[in-house]
Amino acid sequence: MQVLKFGGTSVANSKNISLVKDIVGQLKKGKTVVVVSALGGVTDLLIESASLASKQLDAYASILKKIEDRHIKTIKELIPIKRQSRVLSRIKSELNTLETLLEGAFLIGEITPKLSDKIVSFGELLSSFIISEYFISDGMNAVYKDSRELIITNEVYGKAAVDFSKTDSNCRAFFKKVPESTIVLGGFIASSENGNATTLGRGGSDYSSAIIAAAVQATELQIWTDVSGMFTANPKLVKQARAIPHISYEEAMELSHFGAKVLYSPTIQPVLAKDINIVIKNTFEPEAEGTLITKTQNEKGKSVRGISHIENIALLSLEGPGMVGIPGISKRFFEVLSQAEISVVLITQASSEHSICVGISDADIEKAVAVVNAAFEYEIERGKIQPVISEKNLAIIALVGDNMKSHQGLSGKMFSTLGRNNVNIRVIAQGASERNISAVIDKSDVKKALNALHEEFFEENIKQLNLFVMGVGNVGSKFLKQVHQQKKYLKDNLKLNIRIIGMSNSRKMIFDESGIPLKYWEEQLNNGEKANREKFMSRVKELNYRNSIFVDNTASSEVSETYNTYLRNSISVVTCNKIACSSAFENYSELKQLARKYNAPFLFETNVGAGLPIIDTLKHLIVSGDKVLKIQAVLSGSLNFVFNNFNDQTTFHDVVKQAQEEGYTEPDPKIDLSGVDVMRKILILARESGNELEIEDIANNSFLPKESLATKNNTEFFASLKKNEAAFQKLYKTAAEANSKLKYVAQFENGKASVGLQQIPKGHDFYNLEGSDNIVLFYTERYPNQPMIIKGAGAGADVTASGIFADIIRIGNF
């Protein structure tokens, strides 16, 4: 005999029920027990209508109507006309009884647990009858059986305990005699010895099927549901989760105890005792292998087999000096919880015996606080124990695996993964069996924690980086293009999966939790919602993804002021915007500290020399113990362009204009020509070399006439350049006469920085600097005479974008 159980989604409507029939129809010969749930969602509707009725709210009737309509529709779609009226009249009569019960609750304005179970049991009563009739009408040798006549329980309504000796003998007697080959029963429902309807707890149809399978010593128990097995984590929250092919009873029990709803946790017990295999299969993908659950599993090497979680957990802690050494406190604590029918999901006790802490369901917390405080009233009054402390809105996350005990360092790996992702751990517990390590965390961190742990333990190979990009202009759009181009390469070669989850320009913003398709980002962004920096930030925080990176491709000071909030939320920041790093030293160093504290890198390689690896190289010199003695550099692509093209055949005005038009200067060219941009860059290099410097400390020997510096807009600025042409020509002439070229040089030495135009003689490293190239000479203790030189294109959207990209890869490899 084999037992098959079909869950709510599998029997949600006529279309799904016909799939169920196909599955049952294709089984090999032999007796088959089919246990079904209520039509998907009906149990919830029954509970809702009972609750409304007990509050004397008329709306209960419209819920009842919904329930009626669904069943009648299903019958009409499944059962041929000639059998329909028989089935309809039986179902309508059941529905009338249900209506009477609900009316009763409505009139009294109350619902007892006993009445609630009676009402709720209609879900399975109706579904099992309809399905049996459908099987029969389709020619199957099938019969309906009321499972309340087989499964006998006590009268703890809502979650009754099974009387196995009575149940087993009922089952054995019935199944031995029943002549039909397919027997259809409702799961979840049972009755007490007095004949009152009881239920086995939410999700209890799994349990019913296991009870029957054990009673008749079935060859196999098949649980048919809406996913292809027991997954490495809840597939609704972890996209990368996959079905576990083979798992042991204990592992399955542990995973389901800690929230893997695919199997109701009491289900394992009866079949375990009889060594009956369970297979979890998908009604909607019957060819998928599913999960096999047996006494032992054969995947010896794997340590962690699955991650599960329970939401809506509360912690209850009993603490106080009076607890030390007094025997019986724990006993009283657990006794009072058990008397109040509060089930304890997790327990921890500090070795000092100063406190006991338990995890219970959020819904039970008020009751628990009241009963525990009442039970320890005497000790609380005398200050021996403090009033019980409670905390809500938490969740338990658990790693499960039979072989965990033989692997070292798993908890370390678990906690460091959570820590790295800024998931605060409230309590930890590890079962003595070492089959489980669990942590209590904030409910809002569940998705992030699950995904981070899943990545760590199951996708060791692929790391996901979740990017939020602000600014998609020149640099930003090039960056997106590069990401799009390299996506596959990075996945294949560096095992990095880069996804752009959010992006914004100054007008619009969009978010796509599965990653914005980079082929169409422009179109999508144009149709996005109105841009708003604050909203963007709260959305990034809310999404709470692991490995989140905020990418700033703007030049906005307002955007740079948001970095600290991102970092405080463990969101890394990558920026080509120089404002933050060249702002007050205090702000710069705070950002660096936050990055360390919250494990969120703050990278800005492109602040100096665009894509050239200047800052990264400097960092490596310093961490390896080198000391910077002197920095000399040409750091302005724009000024280099201007002085490379300016001579006695041109005018300074025209060359600057050309530089502006070709995109080599900032929109306001004065920022470049006044030397402010170069000041910012040398400031950043000096700071990165370990010096506490402010922008005001940098000497700026400007070559611009005072008049040009004082201009208020581009028109005035260009006019002043024209007016002062003679002065510029003089600069050129003096240099040319000295066989030198003009270069705008930044320098840092002995704690002092300066920027200014210099005549560079032939033979100097700067002399032959082409186009808009940058060059940096690092004189250090290890490179005292011959400096380390970094040289190359130091401006342009493409190289800047690639510098940002490189920072992101650095984070990926972090």
* Catalytic residue annotation: 681
Instruction: Please tell me whether residue 229 binds Mg ion under the rule CB under 5 A.
Output: no
Tell me which of ligand ASP, ligand ADP, Mg ion, none is bound by residue 43, counting a contact when its beta carbon lies within the kind-specific cut-off of 5 to 8 angstroms.
Answer: ligand ASP
Q: Is 774 helix (H, G, I), strand (E, B) or coil?
A: strand
Instruction: Please tell me whether residue 38 binds ligand ASP under the rule CB under 6 A.
Output: yes
| Side-by-side strand order, sheet with 220-225 | 142-145, 182-186, 32-36, 2-6, 220-225, 277-282, 291-294, 246-248
Tell me which of Mg ion, ligand ASP, ligand ADP, none is bound by residue 497, counting a contact when its beta carbon lies within the kind-specific cut-off of 5 to 8 angstroms.
Answer: none
Burial of 297 (0-12, 13-18, 19+ CB in 10 A): buried
Site string for Mg ion, 7-36 (x = CB under 5 A): x-----------------------------
Give the number of other CB atoms < 10 A from CB of residue 101: 18
CB 147 within 8 A of CB 128: yes
Tell me which of ligand ASP, Mg ion, ligand ADP, none is bound by residue 192, counting a contact when its beta carbon lies within the kind-specific cut-off of 5 to 8 angstroms.
Answer: none
204 vs 637 by CB, closer to ligand ASP: 204
The single residue listed with the structure tokens 């100054």 is: 506
Spatial distance between the Cα atoms of 460 and 465, rounded to a whole number of angstroms: 14
Q: Which two tokens stand for residue 637?
A: 């692509």
Instruction: Please tell me whether residue 426 binds ligand ADP under the rule CB under 6 A.
Output: no
DSSP 337-348: HHHTTPPEEEEE
Residue showing the smallest CB distance to Mg ion in the complex: 203
Q: Shortest approach of ligand ASP to residue 283 CB, angstroms? A: 13
Instruction: Please tell me whether residue 44 binds ligand ADP under the rule CB under 6 A.
Output: no
Q: Which two tokens stand for residue 774?
A: 């940058």
234 vs 708 by CB, closer to ligand ADP: 234
Q: Helix 446-458 and helix 410-420: axis angle, to 10°?
A: 130
Question: Near ligand ADP by CB under 6 A, which window of 220-228, 504-512, 570-578, 600-608?
Answer: 220-228
Instruction: Please tell me whether residue 202 binds ligand ASP under the rule CB under 6 A.
Output: yes
CB 552 within 8 A of CB 503: no
Q: How many residues bind ligand ASP (CB under 6 A)?
A: 13
User: DSSP code of 9?
Assistant: G
Q: Give residues 108-137 in contact with ligand ASP (rule: CB under 6 A).
A: 123
Instruction: Please tell me whether residue 436 binds ligand ADP under the rule CB under 6 A.
Output: no
10 vs 562 by CB, closer to ligand ADP: 10
Q: Shortest approach of ligand ASP to residue 189 CB, angstroms? A: 9
Q: How far is CA 386 from CA 373, 378, 642, in A?
A: 9, 11, 75
Tell me which of ligand ADP, Mg ion, ligand ASP, none is bound by residue 231, counting a contact when its beta carbon lies within the kind-specific cut-off of 5 to 8 angstroms.
Answer: ligand ADP
Q: Give residues 39-68 in contact with ligand ASP (rule: CB under 6 A).
A: 43
Q: Which two tokens stand for residue 109?
A: 């304005």
Cα torsion 696, 702, 708, 714 to 10°: value is -70
Residues with Cβ within 8 Å of residue 653, at least 6 apart in sequence: 718, 721, 722, 725
Instruction: Please tell me whether residue 203 binds Mg ion under the rule CB under 5 A.
Output: yes
Tell me which of ligand ADP, Mg ion, ligand ASP, none is bound by residue 204, counting a contact when its beta carbon lies within the kind-specific cut-off of 5 to 8 angstroms.
Answer: ligand ASP
Residues with Cβ within 8 Å of residue 338, at least 6 apart in sequence: none
Q: Is 242 helix (H, G, I), strand (E, B) or coil?
A: coil
Instruction: Please tell me whether residue 203 binds ligand ASP under the rule CB under 6 A.
Output: yes
CB 197 within 8 A of CB 189: yes
Residues with Cβ within 8 Å of residue 139, at least 6 apart in sequence: none
449 vs 600 by CB, closer to ligand ADP: 449
What is the end-to-end Cα distance of the chain in Å, rounded? 55
Planar angle of CA 743, 744, 749, nearest 5 degrees = 115
Q: Which helix (H) or strand (E) holds 5?
A: strand 2-6
Q: Shortest approach of ligand ADP to residue 306 CB, angstroms? A: 6
Instruction: Please tell me whether residue 187 binds Mg ion under the rule CB under 5 A.
Output: no
Instruction: Please tell me whether residue 266 binds Mg ion under the rule CB under 5 A.
Output: no
Instruction: Please tell me whether residue 9 binds ligand ADP under the rule CB under 6 A.
Output: yes
The one among 73, 76, 236, 762 contacting ligand ADP by CB under 6 A: 236
Q: Give residues 259-288 in contact with ligand ADP (rule: CB under 6 A).
A: 260-262
Residues with Cβ within 8 Å of residue 22, at least 6 apart in sequence: none
Instruction: Please tell me whether residue 188 binds ligand ASP under the rule CB under 6 A.
Output: yes
Residue showing the smallest CB distance to ligand ADP in the complex: 7
184 vs 465 by CB, closer to ligand ADP: 184
205 vs 774 by CB, closer to ligand ASP: 205
Question: Near ligand ADP by CB under 6 A, which window of 222-230, 408-416, 556-564, 729-737?
Answer: 222-230
Q: How many residues bind ligand ADP (CB under 6 A)?
A: 20
Q: Shortest approach of ligand ASP to residue 143 CB, angstroms? A: 22
The site for ligand ADP (CB under 6 A) is made up of: 7-10, 37, 203, 225-227, 230-231, 233-236, 260-262, 306, 308
The site for Mg ion (CB under 5 A) is made up of: 7, 203
The site for ligand ASP (CB under 6 A) is made up of: 7-8, 37-38, 43, 123, 187-188, 202-206
